[in-house]
Amino acid sequence: MNIEDFKKLLHRYNAGKCTEAEKTLLESWYSEFEFQKLPELTNDQLAEILSIQTALPQRKIKSLIPWISSAAAVLLLCLSVGAYFLWHKHHLPQAAEKYTYNVPPGSDKAILTLANGKKMVLSANQVGKLAEQGGVVVDRTADGKVLYTASEKQDPTVAMLYNTLSTPRGGQYSLVLADGTKVWLNAASSIKYPVAFNGDERKVEITGEAYFEVVHNAAKPFRIVAGNQVIEDLGTQFNVNSYVDEPLTKVTLIAGSVKISGNKENIILKPGQQSQFPSQPTSQGFRITDNADVAEAVAWKNGLFKFHKASLQTVMRQLSRWYNVNVNYEGKIPDVEFSGEITRNVNMSEVLDILSYLKVHFKMKQNNQDTTITVTE
């Protein structure tokens, strides 16, 4: 796309004839770049850009990541390669690629494994009693949570029974434990927990990613085993990212306090801090980030992908989990970074359309129920 094509795109925008991808792209370009960063334009071209400014909502445009509203609720992922891609060599990205197959976004689905080994497939439509174990009733509420409630028959002296809630790729779910603690599970994640907390501690185990709102009880501490570390609640809301295919386990504290133990080291986090610990056994210890991007850490819970200087592989791992697709790479992996947001509620083809505007190319193939995305040079 040359500057004349860009001018035509401006005209289509003002006439209301842009596609959603073009509209999102153009609005993001406007928000990301200040006029002094642009090449020399004609008066007509500047007039077109100024007319876009008038049409856009008023906001601060010096923010690192633009917030843009569109009909599809899609926000362009902005490319960062050390220079502004938009005006690099005075050329614009080529038109987005088209894809034969459409992969829908993930949804509320999970498998609940009861203490007796029975597996229950949970969907978004189930409401009511699911099971009763050791005097604890398991329900699915109308707002989509699995809820554990101790009944009058519950005997605190019996041996603890354990359940496991697992989400597949393309799934998410939430539950309320017997002590009232709320848990949200991201895609490809699991949590193992007692049906009732009868001992002197409340211990659960997770894989993948989970967000916790813990009911604090100093007499009965709440502990989470995530990979090779243990997280202890001290009155807390926090996010744990512990995927085995990610290089680091990250704990991001939103409110309260947590104590984290790993590799014979103990740390305590304050709100707004994030701990990073190697996912694989190593002699390295914790790294703490002050003023962490909390919004980025919990974006998944709020229905968003949010990135800041993320590699293409990081982006594709998240897409793979949420859209239940396999990702391969053909040739050299593009050395690019992404910052920005995009809703998780759109089909994958819309996400790939936006990424392909940024000169990342894909091939999509379906075989029975499996979809494979190949990233090409």
Instruction: Decide if 303 is inside a domain.
Output: no
Structural domain containing residue 339: 1-95+308-377
Last residue of a domain, one of 297, 318, 333: 297
**Mean confidence (pLDDT) of the chain:** 79
Percent of the chain with pLDDT over 90: 49
Residue 102 in any domain: the answer is: no
238-278, pLDDT tens digit by residue? 999 999 999 999 999 999 999 999 878 899 999 999 999 98
Q: How confident is the model at residue 29 (pLDDT cuts 50, 70, 90)?
A: low
Q: What pLDDT sits at residue 92? A: 39
> Domain total for the chain?
2
Q: Which of 297, 323, 338 is the last residue of a domain?
A: 297
Secondary structure in 3-state letters for the chain: CCHHHHHHHHHHHHCCCCCHHHHHHHHHHHHHCCHHHCCCCCHHHHHHHHHHHHHCCCCCCCCCCCCCCCCCCCCCCEEECCCCCCCHHHCCCCCCCCCCCCCCCCEECEEEECCCCCEEEECCCCCEEEEEECCEEEEECCCCEEEEEECCCCCCCCCCCEEEEEECCCEEEEEECCCCCEEEECCCEEEEEECCCCCCCEEEEEEEEEEEECCCCCCCCEEEEECCEEEEECCCEEEEEECCCCCEEEEEEEECCEEEEECCEEEEECCCCEEEEECCCCCCCCEEECCCCHHHHCHHHHCEEEEEEEEHHHHHHHHHHHHCCEEEEECCCCCCEEEEEEECCCCHHHHHHHHHHCCCEEEEEEECCEEEEEEEC
Work out the pLDDT band at 14, boundaries 50, 70, 90: confident
Same domain, 132 and 214: yes
User: What confidence tier does 144 reach under pLDDT thresholds 50, 70, 90?
Assistant: confident
pLDDT in tens, 340-372: 888 899 999 888 887 877 778 888 898 888 899
Shared domain for 226 and 283, answered yes or no, is: yes
Q: Which of 297, 330, 346 lies at the terminal end of a domain, its last residue?
A: 297
pLDDT, one tens digit per residue, over 56-102 is 443 332 232 333 333 222 333 333 322 233 333 233 344 444 566 68
Per-residue pLDDT of 273-310, as tens digits, reads 999 998 876 667 889 999 999 999 999 999 999 998 89
User: What is the pLDDT, as a whole number, of residue 17?
Assistant: 77
Query: For residue 64, what pLDDT is reported?
Result: 27
Model pTM score:
0.75
Whether residue 302 lies inside any domain: the answer is: no
